[in-house]
Amino acid sequence: MSFFTYDEIDELGEGLIRQYLGPNAERARRVDIEGLVRNYLKLPLLYCSFAEHYMAKIGFIADGFTPLHIVENGKPTERVFAKETIVIENCLRQKHESGRRRFTISHESAHYVMDRTVQYASFHREFDRERVYSLEDFSGLFSFEETLIDQMGAALLIRSNLTADMKHCRGYAKISSAAVILRHSRRSI
């Protein structure tokens, strides 16, 4: 992965959104992240019930050879997805999970954008205060690379012209708190 400054990430994300939205870019208050992934980036987007040992894994972008543990026909199984396929934990389809779902999709698509091609499989994980983490797990959760990916994910969800009114943006656009915090904190610096 190439490393970018936060401003470069914001500019790249905003540019992608402007291209995706076309003439409607200035009026748009919400980004259809699933449409961006499927129609603009041309990436497969699937929902599955994960059967991973580490339960905080809720999103995955495939590299074409790393298996994902999912539930198929009521049984746990390993499945290798085609390269650049985004797989989202099925429980995030619930209405009250829309913010987490949208951020997870944007996070996985940010891996694609930032890496240009998926060199290796990647999971989106959430921090769980109740869990005891190994040093490897902990460093993966808080790596510099994942911080940049989260920043790009937030840039794909939240238009730069909306960052001034974060309360309106979060409620209207169904954006996760994490995306709002990431996007707003970089604007305040």
pLDDT single digits (tens) 36-45:
999 999 999 9
Question: And the tokens for 113?
Answer: 């954008």
Predicted confidence at residue 188, as pLDDT, reads 46
Q: Is residue 117 part of a domain?
A: yes
- At 81, which amino acid appears? F
> Cα separation of 181 and 88, whole Å?
22
Kindly report the pTM of this predicted structure.
0.76
**Which residue stretches of the chain are H helix?**
6-21, 33-35, 98-115, 135-141, 144-157, 166-173, 177-188
Domain that holds residue 134: 6-188
> Cα separation of 91 and 46, whole Å?
12
pLDDT digits over 67-92, tens only? 999 999 999 999 999 999 999 999 99
Per DSSP, 129 falls in state T
Q: Is residue 120 part of a domain?
A: yes
Overall number of domains in the chain: 1
Q: Is residue 161 part of a domain?
A: yes
Q: Is residue 1 part of a domain?
A: no
User: 96: pLDDT confidence band, cut at 50, 70 and 90?
Assistant: very high
> Cα separation of 58 and 48, whole Å?
10
DSSP tally for the chain: helices H, then strands E: 7, 6
Top pLDDT among 136 and 176 is at: 136
First to last CA, the chain: 25
Q: Is residue 90 part of a domain?
A: yes
